[in-house]
A and B are shown apart, each in its own frame.
Chain A
Amino acid sequence: MIVKNDHKKIISPRILIYLMLTIGGITMVFPFIWMLSTSFKSSLEVLSAQISLIPERKKYIQVDGELEQVEFSVARELQKTLSIKEGKIIETFSRALPAQSRFKSDISNKFSLFRVRLEKYFHRFQSRAEISAALHKFGEDTVGKLPSLPSVRELPVNFRRQLRFELGDLGKQLEAVVTETTDSKDRLRVVILAGDKRGEGATVPLDEIIFKRFLWNNFKKAWQAAPFARYFINSIFISILVTIGQVVTSALAAYAFARMRFRFKEFLFLVLLATMMIPKQVILIPDYAIISWLGWVNTYYALIVPFIAAVFGIYFMRQHFETLPQDLFDAASIDGCGSFRTLFLIVLPISKSVILTVALFTFIMTWNSLLWPLVMTNTPEMRPLQVGLAVFNQESGTDWELLMAASTFSIMPLMIIFFIAQKQFIEGITRSGMKG
């Protein structure tokens, strides 16, 4: 009766509840979607300040530092024009430039950009539509027919407009300097300069790398930008050893505290509980001193040994062991099992879920810790993933597509574990109340 009544009253707030929860839920999840979507974009699209979840077919050009979009068809047209091997382009370029040009000296210098220069007269244009049209027209001409003109730099600067096209993968960009010449009012010249953002030469044919939608290559680039493989191996190695160590030491100690009688038991357990109150930052410096004294700085020892025992695990397991029925132990004793065998053959097998919870949380805590390994390591080959990522964050400041790609593959392992062991996870948290 009452329930039915209730149902009627609530029906309109219900929609409100769902609405609020949905908005909230999207807010929580959106940063992840944004991360994933950014990691597939090109560096210019990243700068475009547009919310596009799926990388767009529209491509961006930079006009005097501001980004504008061009239609995909125009991009195609450009692609057609440039479907030549890079070696050929450099050649064209070298021929077309006057001897004193700075771009030319750049070619001879391996560290610098190489640039393509194609020249063509166009009619004056005012709007973006006109730019598009001009570029279309541009596409119809071939490279060979280019007239030789003075270098861009010799022209009056106030008429120069800069466009920047992207070439998709490999951080390549196509720069077009659209220059209005002074000799004739309605004539424009387009000089297109293709160069690698980081100044590395590449031998990939241009038409293969222009205008892909999803830039999977970002992941490869991010993976190679820092020794992430090593970071992963370190993290896995450290986390697994710490987890095994902690489960073993916790099981032993918890078993003793739960099932054995000995002097000072209560006192020792109290000491153990008291250490839970010690904040990590208090012991960081003396531990650093101890570890430097042991000569362990920048070794696996410093990252593993201090963590192979923790009060949390002992406490958690003890609670469980205490709930086991006494009959079990009596039976084992009658069968002639020593306490060690009882622990391993009887207690542990029936405590799988507790052990799993402790292991899961130890693994996650170790995997996620930053401050300790940051302080204790100082070379790339010893860094675990989180520290490597933090260093990458500082070193590659604004390469957002790479940072997001790196964040994505760093987040993935734990996400997968979470979705596999969701139940264990949530149960463990509600029972133990762990945070951070």
Chain B
Amino acid sequence: MRATDNQGSFLNRISIRRNQVVSMDNNHEQELEDIELFQKHVGDRFADLLSPAEDTSVDALLSIAWLRKILDVFLCCEAEFKAIMIMGRDPSQISKPPLDRLLHELLDRVVKTLDVCNAVSHGVDAVRHFQKLAEIAVSALEQRPIGDGQVRRAKKALNSLAVAMTLEDKDGAVGKSTERAWSFGRRGGGGGAVNKDRNPGNFRPICWNMAKGWSASKQIQAMSSNLVAPRGGETLAVPIYISSMVMVFVMWALAAAIPCQERTGLGNHFSVPRQLSWAQSMMGLQEKISEEWKKKEKKGSAGLLEEMQKMEKLAQSLTEFADNFQFPAEPERLEEVENQVAELAEICKKMEEGLVPLQQQLREVFHRVVRSRAEILDALEQGGKSSASIM
């Protein structure tokens, strides 16, 4: 994976430098240089995430491929950060105020990141469920001649899809789960006589939920609430800040894209510092995504995932087709439908290919972050011990 390639050489460089015995002054200079480099890398990476949105559709903003890319960026930044903070460093340097406090705040963000990763991973399951429903519609509508049965079948699946998507968006409040339908074909399935007699009290959430009351929105808010750009003074406060910013941003983008428990108000959470050069692209991305989010939030959408949004539109249009379908189909209409079905099939394929790796990547982030947390904590403790023994 790209992430590891990059960081390998970088880490080596840093650790080699650190291991050279140099005067304190020199050391400090190099540290500044490392941090400079880190900022530049972060800036470049986010610029890369921002730009392709304009030209290609391959890695369109908030597409699955894009999300995978941003997770890569996260992993890279994380590794560089750790290299700067703890590799070859005397732990007592970081275990004194104010760095120790800043690092503890970072570790707290890490814990919340883990929950977001899990929630998003559950959300990916929900997307996969959408995909399955869409696939049913695709396979039904691909049949020729297209007949009442298949159209009805497709319609049922599409209805379930629509219901599932809106419910997914009603955002997790498990307490209200009685109102939520997981509803596969259970509601208004269009299956003729089918289902009309079902008791609607039985609805269940489709998604494997997080804990009761857990809210992606609140967590991200908590992650960003005590995040303040450092003003001079401690050099090492800068990478801590950058790393936290990246963490918050990535988690925020994920939560906006993928169905995720309780996201009200996700649109306006944290501010990216305007004056810092590394943050320019991040700010650009944030503006775009927030804008999208605010648009969708009103309508109620399962998430900003590009594929999912396209899917939603196509599904609406195909539902319309199905609603008005009469056998035999009109050839002109059919051609249009054929294209839409092909498009939907293409999206399903992208999901089929991308969701599992995305989920694996989330897991990787999870593991990596857990490990980093342990290492930083370990360094803090060691530093704390040695400084205590000096006193």
Whether both chains belong to one complex is answered with no
Residues of B within 8 A of A (CB): none
* A residues in contact (CB < 8 Å) with B: none
